[in-house]
Amino acid sequence: MQIQSSSRVVPLDARRNFVAFAGDILFFVTGTYFIPVTTVLVGLVSELTDNKVLIGAVGTAWLAVWYLPQLFGARLVRGSRYQKRYVIVCALIGRQVFLLLPLWLVMTGAAQPLLTVWLLLAGIVIFNFTDAIAGVAWFDIISRTLSPRMRGRVVTVAQLVASLVGLAVSVLVRYLLDPKILAFPTNYAVLIALAWLFFVLSLLSFAMIKENPVSDSVTDHANEGSFMAHLKEAVGTDKVFRQLLAARLLTGVEMMAASFYVVFIKDRLRLGDDSIGIFTQMLIIGAIVGLLLFGWLSERFGARRVVQASTFFQFISPVLALTIAAFPVIADTVPGLAFGAMALVMALRGAIEHSLVLGFIGYCLDYAPDRNRAMYVGVLNTVSGVVALTPLLGGILIQALQSTGGSTAYSIVFGLAAVMVALGLVAAFRLPKLPAHA
């Protein structure tokens, strides 16, 4: 079978690579279902502290530390003929934090809550920094190894299977978080340890990939002129790329609200930790529906339609949350309706969280010239890291506005997110069709 390389068609063991990438994605995504940042990790921190700034820092650390180093990662891997080693070394270092954290929780019983929060944040930083460097190489490898159509299929199939497995995981999460089954913090320690196990399986699967080397023309281009000169040229002269960056920046502000959806509804309806399991289930159900939709859109119309659909979901989510926060009478008189609306918000979140590769990154991979692909992805994700700081801003705002009433504070944060995402939605719908899908 022939697979498209960056500059020529070369024979490769396509089935082996397809299966290896599928296993890598499947195991990694399944691992994340044990510790979703917007439910389990936020729930863990909210058990340790009431400080909304620290709670917001969890979402910020998870996203910002993954996005921001990617320009550095692009510079690091740029020009290397083989990049697989970057993924393996970074994974061997960063993923071990999810073995150390549960050991700390079990051995100390989280007797020092603030120290435990800071150790969790440090672990998130280490994991996501190393994964960011690995991610730049990973996206370049999959682009060189699989054609756009095969890439879309392996991402869709692997994430869909992982989401189906994730339904069982969500039941287990809900079961383990029941205080009658396991006491705090052992319940969270078990979930984090299970995530580590699947991250290790993901790495073993990736190790089976047969990498297609970077072409001579790409490495030659990397050696001509400085990295910064190529970067300024790409951003300064490419109008479509700047528009893609604008759409990603504006819609990414939704994470400012997303980091507090569960905290808000738990406070508002006085729910226990077992409700996190229900919201985790909704995340996975949303992921399954979203993947079916996004996979179909990617196959038929390309990544542009995935970008537009996912950004529309990002607009609806804070609007629904804003409605519940701005009109407390809904939660007071019809608590089931408020709970259902927030469950729908979490389902939309599940879809959104599985749109990145098929959407923004997929559009970037299809659009970017071969010689600058890693740099384009690095810039896209690094700039996105700026808005990944917004959960921290959201926590600061909520903490400062608590004197005005909890619902008012949340309303301001959710409303601000909705306005910014609306602007990003306009930018997303102005993205041009790419030739292959025109």
Angle at 317 between CA 321 and CA 345, to 5 degrees: 75
Nearest C-alpha neighbor of 378 from the set 111, 132, 119? 132
pLDDT at 428 over 60: yes
Across the range 101-127, mean pLDDT stands at 92
- At 281 the three-state DSSP class reads helix
The pTM score is: 0.70
Q: Which of 3-7, 265-269, 360-364 has the lowest mean pLDDT?
A: 3-7
pLDDT at 362 over 80: yes
pLDDT at 344 over 70: yes
Q: What is the pLDDT of residue 3?
A: 39
Distances, alpha carbon 413 to alpha carbons 69, 209, 392, in Å: 27, 44, 11
Q: Which residue type occupies 238?
A: D
Banded model confidence at residue 230, pLDDT cuts 50, 70, 90: low
Euclidean distance between CA atoms 417 and 67, whole angstroms? 19
Interhelix angle 84-94/186-206, rounded to 10 degrees, is 160
- At 219 the three-state DSSP class reads helix
Across the range 250-263, mean pLDDT stands at 86
pLDDT at 124 over 90: yes
Q: What is the pLDDT of residue 396?
A: 84
Q: Which of 48-57, 70-79, 362-371 has the lowest mean pLDDT?
A: 70-79
- Average predicted confidence (pLDDT) for the chain: 83
Q: What is the pLDDT of residue 216?
A: 52
Domains of the chain: 14-437 (1.20.1250.20)
Q: What is the pLDDT of residue 421?
A: 94
Rg (CA), the chain: 21
Across the range 42-70, mean pLDDT stands at 82
> Exposure string (b/e) for 14-46, b if CB count within 10 Å is 16 or more?
beebbbbbbbbbbbbbbbbbbbbbbbbbbbbbb
- At 337 the three-state DSSP class reads helix
Q: What is the per-residue pLDDT across 148-175, written as a single tens digit (0 to 9) for each?
A: 778 878 888 888 898 888 888 888 888 8
Q: What is the pLDDT of residue 234?
A: 67
Q: What is the DSSP letter of 147?
A: -
Percent of the chain at pLDDT above 90? Answer: 29
Euclidean distance between CA atoms 277 and 182, whole angstroms? 14
Nearest C-alpha neighbor of 422 from the set 256, 290, 254, 306? 254
